[in-house]
Amino acid sequence: MIGAGQAGLSVSFYLKRLGLDPGNDFVVFDRGPVTGGAWQHRWEALRLGTAHRVNDLPGMDELGLSFETADRTLPAKQVIADYYRQYEDHYGFQVVRPAVVTRVVNRGVNLAVTFDAPGGEQELTTQVIVNATGTWRSPFIPWYPGRDSFLGKHVHTNDYSSAQDFAGKSVVVVGGGTSAIGFLLELEHSASHLTWVSRRPVEFLDEGVLDMEAGISAVNKQDEAARAGRALPSIVSGTGVPRTRRIQAGIERGVLVAKPMFSAIEPDGVRWADGTFQQADVILWATGFRPELRHLSPLRLREKAGGITVAQGSSWKDPRIFFAGYGPQASTIGANRAGRTIARQVVANLSSR
């Protein structure tokens, strides 16, 4: 198992339930220094009440824990790290961390996994791999004319630490999802000037909660892309953004009013096709991530269309490789159900040998 975030821990739970012994029958590698998956790297001000909904891990109720009733006054990364630590200890997953998997290669009928750990570079041979690395280490910044000429600072979501870092600066926030909205609301009283731009018009949902029909449609589009080996589309582009009271207040204050995407970046700002110019000290890219798959490149799983062909969690090119948290599983919709499916397939694969 490569990765101990929500997807990796979910699969681990079901592997144990199906009779595999953690530490003996399967091992979990995690590159993070502590528990919490990608959440340990999130910014301090982020709270559970303002973030995407965090699903409970399967079997978490056995510990008397739930994110639905978690303390929302504490940083989200602190709460999630604490819950995940208790979860790992309770089920005895013995996660190896920090362990950075650098490459996976064929070794006959098996796979050789090379990883860096505190003791140095090591290698482990395995029959099956579940890749649950997520996307946090693979930020995406789209190219626009003049991007590399900008004399200000490019900051991506995974670089964001505190609103104080932007005090007195003119900031252009790029992106149409909840991360961009969260940044705008945090920077409102810190930055000297804020400009929000989005490639698509932002659809605010009057319901105030995620429309499940739209969510299922967006997940289906991810599944379709994964089955075809194409690059994965954005989830938020198909679901819209719930119009919570906090977001509605931001709209009414004029903070959450998005402009169309600029056409070019200049050394000291951004320019639209109509000639309008906005000076900027920082461009904050809330433009998402791509799956972290570089360590699997020796296996040549990628298709010409840019993605990896995955169906029901497994690679079509190599049935020894399973993907947890990839494509439709990366959303909060159905992530734990995917863990159960993958665990069953892993056990079936091992039993057939």
CATH number at residue 255: 3.50.50.60
User: Which pLDDT does position 244 carry in this prediction?
Assistant: 84
CA 90 to chain centre: 25
| Same domain as 117, residue 25 | yes
Q: Say which range, 43-52, 100-109, 336-345, has the weakest mean pLDDT.
A: 43-52
The enclosing H or E element of 119 equals none
| Same domain as 180, residue 74 | no
Mean pLDDT computed over every residue of the chain:
87
pLDDT tier for residue 137 given thresholds of 50, 70 and 90: confident
238 part of a folded domain: no
Q: Looking at 285, 308, 337, which one is the last position of a domain?
A: 285
| Same domain as 273, residue 157 | yes
The share of the chain scoring above pLDDT 90, in percent, equals 64
218 part of a folded domain: no
- Across the range 305-310, mean pLDDT stands at 75
- Across the range 228-256, mean pLDDT stands at 72
- C-alpha distances in Å from residue 225, one per residue of 200, 229, 234, 302: 20, 6, 11, 13
pLDDT above 60 for 288:
yes
Q: Which of 124, 74, 70 is nearest to 99 (CA)?
A: 124
pLDDT above 80 for 209:
no
Residue with the bigger pLDDT between 213 and 173: it is 173
| Same domain as 319, residue 340 | yes
Most confident of 95-109, 237-251, 298-312: 95-109
Q: Where are the alpha helices (DSSP H) in the chain?
A: 6-17, 76-91, 178-187, 212-228, 236-239, 245-252, 335-351
pLDDT tier for residue 217 given thresholds of 50, 70 and 90: very low
pLDDT above 90 for 144:
yes
Quote the crossing angle between the two packed helices 178-187 and 245-252, to the nearest 10°.
60
188 part of a folded domain: yes
The share of the chain scoring above pLDDT 70, in percent, equals 86
Residue with the bigger pLDDT between 10 and 338: it is 10
230 part of a folded domain: no
User: Which pLDDT does position 308 carry in this prediction?
Assistant: 81
| Same domain as 172, residue 119 | no
231 part of a folded domain: no
| Same domain as 195, residue 270 | yes
Tokens (6 digits) for 208: 């105030």
Tokens 């006054």 appear where? Answer: 73
Q: How far is the C-alpha of 334 from the C-alpha of 331, rounded, in Å?
A: 7
| Same domain as 127, residue 65 | yes
pLDDT tier for residue 311 given thresholds of 50, 70 and 90: confident
Domain limits for position 191: 147-208+243-285
Number of Cα atoms under 13 Å in the Cβ half of residue 159 = 15
Q: Are 319 and 191 in contact (CB under 8 A)?
A: no
| Same domain as 275, residue 159 | yes
Q: Which of 200, 197, 196, 199 is nearest to 186 (CA)?
A: 196
CA 80 to chain centre: 15
67-91 pLDDT tens trace: 999 999 999 999 999 999 999 999 9
| Same domain as 250, residue 178 | yes
- Rounded to 5 degrees, φ, ψ at 250 are -65, -35
User: Which pLDDT does position 26 carry in this prediction?
Assistant: 97
- Across the range 294-323, mean pLDDT stands at 86
| Same domain as 281, residue 154 | yes
What Rg, from alpha-carbon coordinates, does the chain have? 21
Q: Give the total number of structural domains in the chain.
A: 2
